[in-house]
Structure 1
Amino acid sequence: MDVRRAAERYPGGDEAAGITSRHAFSFGPHYDPDNLRFGAMIACNEERLAPGAGFDEHPHSHTEIVTWVVEGELTHRDSTGHETRVGPGDVQRLSSAGGVRHVERNDAEAPLTFLQTWLAPLTPGGDPSYEIVHGIADSTPYAVPEAGAMLHVRRLGLGERTAVPDGAFVYVHVARGEVRLDGEELAAGDAARIIGAKDVEAVALSAAELLVWEMADRL
């Protein structure tokens, strides 16, 4: 298990424009050949947008993009005609496939924090697609078959426990609160990368929200 702390993330964004970004993997000008990906995951970005701030229209291709809002509300528009608002508890997926353009903004009056995960598809190309699940239930898995991945959301009260799925590649991100994971204490923004996960358990040291990615061995 490899624990990466929130403070170790690569800084990015444009604070003058109200955008603060923290990248878990090599991204933009921050290149680390030993930190390019983990399983199917090629990016895990924490984004903070001030009211009125956002990312203007930009392209993506050959990437499965999954967004989780921690606080606030995200406005999404894309070139396939979708326009939605994403709030806490919603899972949004944009399959960029052969190519798509989108806009992401904070059009609300409160600050926005969201986590965005990029996954490499099993097969590049194809037609882009979009999906949003509003208010996903606790412990309900969300499958991204295009990338051989599954997202598990865990919401825990103080002292509650949850099993981490066994898997070839498992990525655990603490969205809120604090947990103890296999003897390691993790706080909000911290993450653990586990290879060959088996019989791993998380215990909440406070009310907590975990995003757990289970990814197949395909490398």
Structure 2
Amino acid sequence: MLRKINHENMGRSNLGWLRSIFHFSFAEYYNPNNINFGMLRVINDDLVAPGTGFDLHPHQNMEIISYVVGGELTHGDSMGNKSTITRGHVQYMSAGTGVYHSEQNLADQPLRFLQIWIIPDKTGYTPSYGDYRFEWNDRHNQWLHMVSSKAGDAPIKINQDMNVYALELEKDKEISFLVAAGRQAYMVQVEGRSAVNGVELGTRDALEIVEEDIQIKASETTHVVILEMKKIAE
């Protein structure tokens, strides 16, 4: 089963310094029929103006992944971590029993990143943070496996049965992705255009995939992120 979500129908917010597209209910955007997709709770496509950002604020019992599309993202937290990542890099935080963090754009250009929240497999984990600077070419015409469960083999491991992949596919090239029985996936068309099993996707569109293998063909150079997970009862 495939279901396309047009970005024009997603939630939106414009605070001046921050423009956001909400894939799921968040902040002032509330839709009782669009709270989550399995254990995937939040994907916010955030555009942050230079010299601004999210000041120190709390999180608890959530696995948080930030994927930078463009610009620079600077993280700080109450555990003493501070780092800056750029295009194609990932930071991840297990909020667990509670942590404060900030996310700032200290550069002179806009920052675009995907803010992803995943419900953990249980509450009460000890908070932790890390980041990973993936090489851009590692996703060129091939799947880059960035995130997995603690039992998986990706460089980033989180407290949930979730796999996150990135891909940059050249125009007219094709690639497959398997979504097995008992599994589902959420695809974000980050940049470019593609056709997935004949379904046309443009920049910032999304696709829900349930127990169906897909074939992606790039209509132009295309950049996607897929979150693949165990199917759970809604």
Please give the alpha-carbon distance, in whole angstroms, between the structure 1 residues aligned to 2:232 and 2:121: 9
1:161 aligns with 2:163: no
The within-5 A match list for 1:57-136 is 57-136=56-135
* One-letter amino acid of the counterpart of residue 7, structure 2: A
Match of 1:181 among 185, 196, 206: 196
The within-5 A match list for 1:18-29 is 18-29=17-28
- 4+ residue segments displaced more than 2 Å: none
Q: 3-state SS of the aligned residue for 2:144?
A: coil
Please give the alpha-carbon distance, in whole angstroms, between the structure 2 residues aligned to 1:69 and 1:83: 16
* One-letter amino acid of the counterpart of residue 208, structure 1: T
Determine if contact 1:142/1:152 at 8 Å carries over to the other structure: yes
Q: 3-state SS of the aligned residue for 2:8?
A: helix
5+ residue gaps, structure 2, are 150-158
Q: CA deviation at 1:190?
A: 0.4
Determine if contact 1:154/1:162 at 8 Å carries over to the other structure: no
* One-letter amino acid of the counterpart of residue 208, structure 2: R
Over 3 Å counting, the alpha-carbon distance change for 1:81 and 1:165 in structure 2 is farther
Counterpart in 1 of 2:3? 2
Superposed CA RMSD: 1.2
Please give the alpha-carbon distance, in whole angstroms, between the structure 2 residues aligned to 1:101 and 1:183: 44
Greater CA deviation, 25-34 or 52-61? 25-34
5+ residue gaps, structure 1, are none
Counterpart in 2 of 1:148? 161
Identical positions, percent: 30
Q: How many residues are treated as equivalent by the alignment? A: 216
Q: CA deviation at 1:140?
A: 2.7
Over 3 Å counting, the alpha-carbon distance change for 1:13 and 1:120 in structure 2 is farther
**What TM-score do the two structures reach when normalised by structure 1?**
0.95
Determine if contact 2:77/2:102 at 8 Å carries over to the other structure: yes
Please give the alpha-carbon distance, in whole angstroms, between the structure 2 residues aligned to 1:46 and 1:143: 19
Please give the alpha-carbon distance, in whole angstroms, between the structure 1 residues aligned to 2:77 and 2:210: 35
Q: 3-state SS of the aligned residue for 2:106?
A: coil
Counterpart in 2 of 1:213? 227
Determine if contact 1:98/1:124 at 8 Å carries over to the other structure: yes
